[in-house]
């Protein structure tokens, strides 16, 4: 009875299928509809979750993203605003509270899906980036700048607290009698999915979008700062190189200009009178979902020494997909897109960094479940033992929740062109598409282009 009451208390905040079916499985029909370019259908495939559900924030992120892809800027803005409100409320809650204690008890006898979804820093940054674009496509540059400042604040906060969080989690794991070394040989190596990223929260795309918006609003010093932040993450991106060279020259940052020219080559002014600038953001495909991997790992116990337990952990498997570059032609010139963020890498790095905390919770969980099984076996004989064993196996599911409708990768293109009506010819994976824009002199024309499966769509706005 105690076991059932605890489970019911924990399950009251999530759907029963969350207990026995992974989030990645639940999102498969959503992703299938996205690959067909049917974002309205994809939204209808999302599981309905009310505000008391511990995956409510994540469901808002998924819904806001699909509304964005469907060009429903107003609805997407409202959905993301609600997600931000929920994230702030979650952040401001007291660290110790009765509801959180009940939630953790539910997780101890079930799995991590019984806990509230805590939005990783990289997902928070993408939330504010998309919200900024929502404002832009409704011709509200000041609202977009508010969101981009929030995105930058997320990255600054992450930079300040991330190492401390990881260090604390590692110590807690060591105190539990385990270490991440226990995973060697059984847990898939995520280094190929992580690629070259140094951490799971610094996002050059967010910094670049911030720089573009500051530049459009005439705040060149702020734009320059964020372009420099972006190029420290992606130093090989040629469009970023030209942006920092151009603004260093324009702002008279001679020391910086000399240093950047030594790294990237001499800057030559290319902007002609009456021209406008075109910036293209190219979103590629959909980020992979976490998978569930089962392991048998030893746990040290004070009375009985080492004993092996069955664990389920989330993982990003496989190497990064190599996407073809988008080719753009305009006025006899050809440009190719260059990567500015690999969201798959951020997600994998964030998961790897949080493995110590995941393992710590797993140790507590499997030991608690084993104690319950032994108690039921003593008091209810073979029937209790069998029922407890079946429940333990069925409920041992990894937490595969993540913002699963995000793009896998974002590229950029930037060039100057004559003002007036322009037709851009793009080619990607054998598909061709024409984009018509009205370039205005000395202003930025921003194009947000999404390529998912065989579906290519875009939206443009003059900043």
Euclidean distance between CA atoms 287 and 204, whole angstroms: 17
Show the domains of the chain with their CATH numbers.
Answer: 2-462 (1.25.40.10)
Query: How high is the pLDDT of residue 102?
Result: 40
Kindly state the tokens that stand for 1: 């009875």
Burial environment of residue 291 by CB neighbours within 10 A (0 to 12, 13 to 18, 19 or more): middle
Asked if 117 and 54 count as a contact pair (C-beta separation under 8 A), the reply is: yes
Which pTM does this prediction carry? Answer: 0.86
Q: Is 234 helix (H, G, I), strand (E, B) or coil?
A: coil
pLDDT at 235: 94
Greatest CA separation found in the chain? 87
DSSP states of 380-423 as a string? HHHHHHHHHHHHHHHH------S-TTS-SEEEEEEEEEESEEEE
Nearest alpha carbon to residue 402 among 310, 289, 297, 304: 289
What pLDDT is recorded for position 175? 66
- Mean pLDDT, consecutive 10-residue stretches, the chain (463 aa), reads 47 54 89 95 92 92 98 97 94 56 44 78 96 97 96 89 70 64 73 88 94 96 96 95 95 93 84 86 95 74 61 86 94 94 95 84 66 58 52 66 96 95 93 94 95 94 95
Contact between residue 86 and residue 49 where contact means Cβ atoms under 8 Å apart:
no
User: Which two structure tokens, joined as six digits, stand for 10?
Assistant: 């924990």
Q: How confident is the model at residue 86, as a pLDDT?
A: 94
C-alpha triplet 378, 383, 386: angle, nearest 5°: 95
In angstroms, the CA 401 to CA 27 distance is 10
């Amino acid at each position: 009875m105690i076991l059932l009451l605890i489970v019911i208390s924990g399950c009251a905040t999530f759907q029963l299928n969350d207990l026995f079916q992974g989030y990645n499985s639940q999102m498969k029909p959503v992703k299938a509809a996205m690959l067909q370019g049917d974002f309205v259908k994809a939204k209808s495939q999302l599981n309905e979750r009310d505000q008391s559900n511990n995956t409510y924030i994540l469901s808002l992120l998924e819904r806001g993203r699909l509304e964005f892809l469907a060009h429903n800027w107003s609805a997407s803005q409202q959905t993301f605003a609600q997600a931000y409100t929920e994230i702030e409320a979650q952040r401001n809650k007291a660290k110790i509270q009765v509801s959180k204690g009940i939630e953790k008890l539910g997780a101890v006898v079930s799995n991590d899906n019984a806990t509230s979804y805590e939005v990783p820093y990289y997902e928070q940054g993408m939330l504010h980036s998309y919200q900024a674009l929502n404002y832009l496509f409704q011709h509200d540059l000041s609202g977009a700048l508010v969101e981009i400042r929030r995105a930058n604040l997320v990255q600054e906060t992450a930079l300040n607290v991330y190492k401390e969080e990881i260090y604390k989690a590692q110590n807690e794991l060591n105190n539990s009698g385990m270490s991440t070394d226990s995973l060697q040989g059984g847990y898939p190596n995520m280094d190929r999915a992580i690629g070259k990223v140094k951490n799971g929260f610094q996002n050059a795309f967010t910094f670049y979008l911030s720089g573009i918006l500051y530049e459009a609003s005439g705040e060149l010093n702020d734009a320059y700062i964020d372009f420099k932040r972006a190029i420290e993450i992606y130093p090989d991106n040629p469009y970023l190189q030209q942006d920092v060279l151009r603004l260093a020259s324009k702002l008279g940052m001679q020391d910086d200009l000399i240093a950047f020219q030594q790294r990237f080559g001499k800057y030559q002014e290319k902007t002609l009178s009456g021209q406008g600038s075109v910036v293209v953001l190219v979103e590629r495909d959909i980020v992979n979902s976490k998978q569930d991997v089962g392991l048998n790992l030893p746990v040290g116990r004070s009375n009985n020494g080492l004993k092996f337990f069955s664990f389920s952990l989330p993982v990003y498997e496989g190497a990064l997909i190599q996407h073809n570059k988008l080719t753009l032609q305009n006025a006899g010139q050809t440009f190719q897109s260059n990567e500015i963020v690999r969201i798959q890498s951020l997600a994998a790095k964030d998961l790897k960094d949080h493995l110590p905390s995941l393992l710590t919770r797993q140790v507590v969980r499997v030991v608690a479940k084993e104690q319950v099984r032994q108690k039921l076996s003593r008091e209810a004989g073979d029937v209790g033992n069998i029922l407890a064993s079946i429940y333990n196996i069925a409920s041992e599911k990894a937490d595969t929740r993540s913002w699963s409708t995000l793009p896998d990768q974002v590229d950029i293109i930037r060039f100057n062109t004559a003002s007036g009506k322009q037709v851009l010819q793009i080619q990607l994976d054998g598909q061709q598409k024409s984009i018509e824009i009205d370039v205005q002199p000395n202003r930025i024309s921003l194009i947000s282009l999404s390529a998912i499966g065989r579906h290519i769509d875009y939206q443009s706005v003059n900043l």
